[in-house]
Amino acid sequence: MAASGHLLLNSQAFSCWSGATLAGPNQVRFPDGIRTVQAGLNLSKQRACRRCCGRESGPRLSSTLERLHGADARQGVSSWIAEIAEVSSRQWRAKRGRVAASTASAATSEPVAAPSTSGSTLLFNKDQVLERLSNNVHPKAQSTYKAMYSSVLGGIVTDPALMFIPLDDHGFHRGHAVFDTAEIYGGFLYGLDPHLDRLISSASKAGIPLPYQRPQLKQLLIDTVAASDSWQGQLRYWVTAGQGGFNLSSKECIRSNLYAVVISERKDMDAIAARGVRVITSQIPIKAPQFATVKSTNYLPNALVMQEAEAAGVDYAIWLDQEGLVAEGPNMNVAFVNDEGVLLVPAFDKILPGITIRKLLSLKEGLTSPGNSQNCVVVRDPSAGPASQELSQELCPTTENGSTTGPILKAVRVGPVTVDEARKAKEMMLIGSGVLVLPVVEWDGRPVNDGVPGPIAMRLRQILHADMEGGLPGDRIQVPYIEPPAL
């Protein structure tokens, strides 16, 4: 219903005909004069538009009027229905022409978000919606959103115009949803299993039942990547409480939903790592531990932290926890190397347990020759949980032909990290699946490692790259593409 009360008629013959207004209790005003409606009809504009006209055709409109207002209504309006039919059809065709012109303009410039004509909001039918969606896909979506699975549809779409979620899904209007990611690297899915385990754990903590059992979830995600033909990129997937209404309680939800999308966009993180990144300490309050340890869609604090960093002209901002200890970045972990060669990693009891940093801490000896780590030990911290595992031998000194090479790490400590000891560290780095390892060269305007990327951070980045390219079979799942994607 338009704000001006325009009559809404069927899209086959009528439209929101702006020439008709209510002149009185029993009269309708048209451009060429006033028509008197059968006595007793006495419709307000709202009732005329919403109850009688709606989107029905002429014959159905007459029968609806008769049902709502009596037989006299049908006789009384039949004459002016016939008279306005042709006028309204011309009006509709003209409006369609304006829509087509607007769409054509949008295709060659910026998409039109909320088209309007003569002060009236357009009412679309299904075919028009699909046409408009197809014509208004923004360039980034067209080039980078390669495939989407939706449990609502029960399948995969590869047209970005069809990638949508229902408005009444609680994941959208209540934020009752969890998500996770996995990297697509050289035609393989890297680290899908641990990420999927975290998704299942997050869903349990969020009180969301899984829409499928784990094996089926995994297969659906692999199938989505296969349909995308993407050789490089990221798989991102959500489990939501589901659709069913706009209330707060998820009891109204019909079932939980799964959505997954393949994004082929890749930043040149190697170039970013080579120059290093600049960070500040965030002033945005960190999430409470109960929520910070769940990977939910509640990323408003994270988004505000990024805005804060961008406003300051730096790359990222770092959170401190409720006790003033170093916590994490907006979507990655943070670590330090002190002067004694100890890798300092904040404990995971109050932050999201990062898959990438845990992978780094748990890599086994297979990447290098054994016997290179006589003096490299791990300091265990009870609060660290699964992260306090044996460090990869790659992080320890390598002795070959009598000479020692590689970064010197005497120990790894997973536990509380104070701001004071963090600022005294010789290296600082950010670690996450989307960035791998990024050396920090400046923190709150102070240079780190003399303002150049630290050698240990760059070595850790190389280790993760090597694992992505040739790690254990269980960590790398070859994507069964229907046709091998073009390199």
Beta strands in 310-394, from DSSP E residues, in sequence order: 316-318, 333-337, 342-346, 377-379
443: left (phi over 0), alpha (psi -120 to 50) or beta: beta
User: Token pair of 159, please?
Assistant: 């047209």
Contact assessment for residue 236 and residue 261, using Cβ atoms and an 8 Å cutoff = yes
218: left (phi over 0), alpha (psi -120 to 50) or beta: alpha
What angle, 0 to 180 degrees and rounded to 10, lies between the N-to-C axes of helices 455-470 and 355-362?
Answer: 90
Q: How far apart are CA 171 and CA 168, in angstroms?
A: 8
DSSP β-ladder status, 27-30 and 436-443: unpaired
Contact assessment for residue 242 and residue 177, using Cβ atoms and an 8 Å cutoff = no
Rounded alpha-carbon distances, angstroms, from residue 6 to 97, 104, 199, 294:
19, 26, 49, 49
Q: What is the DSSP letter of 54?
A: T
Q: How far apart are CA 473 and CA 450, in angstroms?
A: 40
End-to-end CA distance of the chain: 51
287 is catalytic: no
Contact assessment for residue 449 and residue 458, using Cβ atoms and an 8 Å cutoff = no
Q: Per the residue annotation, which of 146, 295, 350, 359 is the catalytic one?
A: 295
Nearest Cα neighbor of 427 from 388, 455, 398 is 455
β-partners of residue 16 are: 8
β-partners of residue 181 are: 236
442: left (phi over 0), alpha (psi -120 to 50) or beta: beta
* CB atoms near residue 341 (< 10 Å): 16
Residue 358, φ and ψ in degrees, nearest 5: -70, -35
User: Token pair of 255, please?
Assistant: 């079932």
Q: How far apart are CA 279 and CA 447, in angstroms?
A: 10
* CB atoms near residue 387 (< 10 Å): 23
Beta strands in 187-270, from DSSP E residues, in sequence order: 188-190, 233-240, 257-263
Contacts of 331 (CB under 8 A, 6+ apart): 302, 432, 434
Nearest Cα neighbor of 299 from 180, 207, 175 is 175
154: left (phi over 0), alpha (psi -120 to 50) or beta: left
List active site positions. Answer: 295
